[in-house]
Structure formats: C-alpha cells, structure tokens
C-alpha cells in the first residue's frame, strides 16, 4: 500500500540532525464536491448566488481562480487528487480499475505521521472495492459502511439513489467520528459529497430559488440516456431550450443545497473550536456538461465545463487572497502535506500550490475507445482527441474565448502538430513508467449502484 514511501517520512523525521517534529500539527479536512463545475459557483462569477457560504468561507483563505482537475470523471480524477500522480501514471482510467496498492495516498502519509484518518463517501467509486480506502483508519463509504470490510454494499444504499447518506448525514458521521477520537492526535478527514451529481434532487426550497415564480414541478431528462455527441465532431441529442434550462435549474438548486450544508458544517466546527486549528480544502473532482460542446453529463471530453473546478484553501498559515494562476488539482496532496508541516514527505509528482513553481495543468481521458489529452501552454488550451474514427486537434484562447467556441489550431503560429506530438509522447512516457492499476471485483450490487447515478456497465 505504498507503506515504504509513507514510513520513510518517519525515518526522515527521526534521523540525526533533523529538527524534531512539532508537538501539534493542524487537522486536515478535505471536502470534495462531486460534479461541481467552477462557472456555476457564485464564488467564481456565476450570476446566480449558488454558493454564498463557500463565498464567505473563501474570504478567509486562498481562492484558486483557474484550477483544473486531471480528468473529467471521478475515478482518474480522484486517484490523481489523492496520490499526486497523473492519470497515465496511476493507471486508474476504467470502470474496473482499482487504485493499485503500490500507490502512496495522502491518507497513508498522514496516518504514518500520527494522524487519525477517516473517509466519508457517498460516491460508489470512492470506496473499498476500488482501492480508495488506503490509509484510512475509519471508512464509512457508499460501498461498505464502517462495520463492513468485505466490499458488500450497505443495504440502505442499494435500493435507490434517494437512500444515499446525503450531505447532512455525512456531516453528522464526521462529527461523531471527531467526538470519539483522541483529542491530542491531529486528524485527517476526507468527505465526498454527491449533491450536484445527476439525478439532481435538491429539496424544493432550494430548487425554487432558481425556478420561475409559480413554476410547477418538472420531470428532468436523464442525462445519461441522452445520445451524446463526440465533442468537436458529431452532434448528439439536442433538448428544447426549456428542458435544458430545467436541468440547469435543478443542478443549481443542488449546488445551493450542498453549499447550505457546507455552511452548517463550518458553523459546527467553529462552535466546537476545531476551525482555527484545521486546514480545510474544498475542491471538485470534475464538472458537468449541458451541451456546450454537443455532450451531456461528464466523462466525454476535456472542455472547461468538465475540468475547471473550484479550489479553496483556508486555515493556519494561509493568507487570504485570490490566485489567478493556472493550477492543477494534482498538486493538492503536496500542498496539504506542506501545510501540515510535513515538507519532507514526497507524494506523487505534484508540488505545493503555495510555491511559485506549481505544476502546469495536464488533462487526460480514456473513454469508449477514444483518448483525449489536454494542456495549457503559451496562453492557449490544447485538446487532442483521437481513436474510434476521431483525429482532432483544437486550441482555444481562454482569455478571449472562455467558452472554448473558436478553434485556433489552424492559425499559422499555432504549431498544432508539434503540440499534438508532445502531448502524445508525454502520455506514452508516463504510461510506460507508471503503475499498473489493479482490477476490482465489481459485484452486481455495485453495478446497480453505479447505474443509479448514470454509469453504465
């Protein structure tokens, strides 16, 4: 389980001549909001006030205004976010892939350095069967709950998506875990919320915030049953404008509901005198598409509606500011270790976001026989799409075209072929040097749980 790399941190700390470890380290709280696209947060300029509590919290810390996830769906993105490795390097790119035990996770390093560790997840993928429980002493996940270690689904999550824990229950479980632990040990908790994920089911009061006055209830289209296009090449299933707006309204309501529950958690941590001693990171694993580029939902392209995510850091040692740099979520593990005072710990290939040499962003997606690679360089975002009859290179000037609507790869100075070769060579090298993902045993119950949130077999 990557124990050698993690335990080596202890040896460094104990070596002659090294400064002794601080007697008290800050707590670390990682809050992942599944499917939260950056441009639907009021934090990052959305006209609708979807995230007022996050906006207020962010004023106490750093807002990374141009952060991106490493992929456009949960498994590869979260594997990168927890290990500091790119998708080609960790190899977790398919439904069956399991995070390899050879990978060193953020939780493992913190646990090896005296932290209590716990995972609270409502996403079926972020669970024991797929290898995401590495390094956590306590695991309350969609797949097994705290009392099970055999990978069987909790009975209360099998029947229906509506039976998932939900943000309020996850918060309660986190707080109960905090109450039951050693107060002299620092803690690391990773909470994975699902409110913005399809099917969008905000409570009526939150849904109504973004609906026309007096509007009746609607039956939303199933994003995962709509015929998706191939970004940049083939048009998919187009919905009438009103149906599309119904989806957006429900999505925004779900975001606002998560934000409200986030605020309640922050209030409770402050009441318990846990806030000032805790480093808190809020981030998403990917966004959501509403047919901006002929696709719905996610896991089908690397455009910004799917990879640009909110990222906020607050806590001890963090000076409030807004950071406009293009940064990658792959740097988050190194950043959190640095804020915990564990600069000697090395994890993945990322660097601390608090340093000037933070990693430049690269994106990667393997889906239905196609591979997508993306990067940002020389002021342009590049996407290379290939496979299954698709061979496409696109370039966008994000400063003048944030919606990525005008392909500039054919301009004389674009050097599209050079960028394409460089991206493909980089991905090939990482894959050759990377880890081999394990294969998860996906039970019929787990498949049913995944189908409930839109993922096919």
71-119 per-position pLDDT tens digit:
999 999 999 999 999 888 898 988 889 999 999 999 999 999 999 999 9
Name the residue among 48, 57, 454, 450 with its Cα closest to residue 251: 48
CA distance 141 to 319: 33
Q: What is the dihedral of CA 143, 144, 149, 152, to 10 degrees?
A: -70
Rounded to a whole number, what is the distance in angstroms from the first to the last CA of the chain?
28
pLDDT of 353: 94
The arithmetic mean of pLDDT across residues 307-325, rounded, is 96
Element spanning 86, H or E: none
Give the number of other Cβ atoms within 10 Å of residue 240's Cβ: 9
Give the pLDDT band (50/70/90) at residue 440. Answer: confident
Whether pLDDT at 354 is above 60: yes
379 in the Ramachandran plot: left (φ > 0), alpha (ψ -120 to 50) or beta?
left
List, in order, residues 6 or more apart from 297 with CB less than 8 Å away: 198, 223, 224, 228, 288, 289, 454
CA distance 336 to 342: 9
140-196 per-position pLDDT tens digit:
876 554 444 444 444 444 334 445 568 998 999 999 999 998 888 999 999 999 999
CA distance 383 to 372: 7
CA distance 194 to 95: 18
Sign of the CA dihedral with 337 first, then 340, 345, and 351 last = positive
pLDDT of 160: 44
Beta strand ranges found along 16-167 (DSSP E):
27-33, 62-68, 97-98, 116-121, 138-140
Give the pLDDT band (50/70/90) at residue 457. Answer: low
Whether pLDDT at 9 is above 60: no
Which of the residue ranges 31-40, 175-184, 397-406, 415-424 would you say has the lowest mean pLDDT?
Answer: 415-424
CA 56 to chain centre: 21
Q: Are 61 and 355 in contact (CB under 8 A)?
A: no
The arithmetic mean of pLDDT across residues 298-303, rounded, is 92
CA distance 375 to 395: 10
Whether pLDDT at 245 is above 90: yes
pLDDT of 274: 93
Higher pLDDT, 157 or 447: 447
Q: What is the DSSP letter of 104?
A: P
41-81 per-position pLDDT tens digit:
999 999 999 999 999 999 999 999 999 999 999 999 999 99
CA distance 181 to 186: 10
pLDDT of 142: 62
What does pTM read for this prediction?
0.90
Beta strands at 296-297 and 289-290: parallel, antiparallel or unpaired: antiparallel
φ, ψ dihedrals at 64, nearest 5°: -90, 105
Give the number of other Cβ atoms within 10 Å of residue 66's Cβ: 17
Give the number of other Cβ atoms within 10 Å of residue 238's Cβ: 13
Q: Is 250 helix (H, G, I), strand (E, B) or coil?
A: helix
pLDDT of 159: 38
Query: Token pair for residue 303?
Result: 């455009």
Q: Are 36 and 278 in contact (CB under 8 A)?
A: no
CA distance 36 to 167: 14
Q: What is the DSSP letter of 123?
A: S
CA distance 298 to 35: 8
Q: What percentage of the chain carries pLDDT values higher than 70? A: 87
Whether pLDDT at 419 is above 60: yes
Q: Are 192 and 121 in contact (CB under 8 A)?
A: yes
CA distance 254 to 207: 7
The answer, yes or no, to whether the previous bond of 176 is cis (omega within 30 of 0) is no
Higher pLDDT, 384 or 433: 384
Query: Token pair for residue 447?
Result: 């498949």
Q: What is the DSSP letter of 227?
A: -
pLDDT of 432: 60
Q: Are 37 and 309 in contact (CB under 8 A)?
A: yes
- Report DSSP letters for 131-162, one per residue: TTTTT-SEEE-TTTTTT--S-PPPHHHHS-GG
């Amino acid at each position: 389980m990557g124990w050698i790399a993690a335990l080596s941190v202890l040896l460094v700390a104990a070596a002659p001549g090294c400064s002794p470890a601080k007697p008290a380290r800050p707590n670390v709280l990682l809050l992942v909001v599944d499917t939260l696209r950056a441009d639907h947060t009021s934090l990052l300029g959305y006209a609708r006030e979807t995230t007022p509590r996050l906006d207020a919290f962010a004023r106490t810390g750093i807002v990374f205004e141009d952060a991106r996830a490493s992929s456009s769906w949960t498994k590869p993105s979260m594997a990168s976010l927890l290990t500091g490795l790119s998708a080609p390097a960790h190899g977790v790119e398919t439904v069956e892939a399991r995070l390899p035990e050879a990978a060193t996770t953020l939780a493992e390093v913190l646990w090896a350095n005296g932290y209590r560790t716990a995972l609270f997840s409502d996403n079926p993928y972020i669970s024991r069967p797929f290898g995401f429980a590495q390094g956590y002493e306590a695991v309350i996940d969609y797949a097994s709950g705290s009392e099970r270690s055999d990978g069987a689904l909790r009975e209360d999550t099998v029947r229906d998506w509506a039976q998932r824990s939900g943000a309020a229950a996850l918060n309660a479980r986190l707080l109960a875990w905090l109450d039951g632990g050693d107060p002299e040990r620092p803690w690391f908790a990773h909470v994975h919320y699902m409110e913005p994920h399809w099917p969008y089911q905000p409570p009526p009061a939150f849904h109504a915030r973004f609906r026309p006055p007096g509007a009746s209830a609607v039956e939303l289209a199933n994003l995962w049953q709509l015929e998706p296009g191939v970004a940049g090449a083939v048009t998919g299933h187009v919905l009438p404008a009103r149906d599309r707006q119904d989806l957006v309204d429900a999505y925004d309501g779900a975001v606002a509901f998560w934000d409200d529950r986030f605020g309640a958690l922050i209030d409770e941590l402050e009441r318990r005198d846990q806030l000032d001693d805790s480093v808190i990171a809020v981030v998403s694993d990917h966004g959501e598409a509403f047919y901006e580029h002929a696709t719905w939902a996610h896991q089908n392209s690397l455009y910004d509606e799917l990879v640009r995510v909110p990222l906020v850091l607050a806590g001890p040692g963090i000076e409030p500011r807004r950071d406009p740099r293009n940064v990658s979520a792959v740097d988050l593990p190194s950043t959190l270790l640095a804020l915990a005072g564990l600069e000697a710990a090395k994890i993945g290939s990322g660097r601390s976001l608090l340093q000037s040499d933070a990693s430049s962003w690269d994106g990667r997606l393997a889906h239905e026989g196609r591979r997508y690679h993306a990067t940002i360089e020389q002021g342009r975002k590049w996407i290379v799409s290939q496979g299954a009859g698709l061979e496409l290179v696109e370039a966008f000037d994000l400063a003048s075209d944030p919606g990525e609507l005008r392909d500039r790869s054919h301009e004389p100075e674009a050097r599209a072929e050079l960028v394409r070769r460089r991206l493909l060579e980089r991905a090939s090298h990482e894959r050759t040097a990377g880890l081999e993902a394990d294969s998860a045993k996906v039970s019929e119950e787990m498949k049913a749980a995944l189908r409930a949130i839109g993922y096919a077999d």
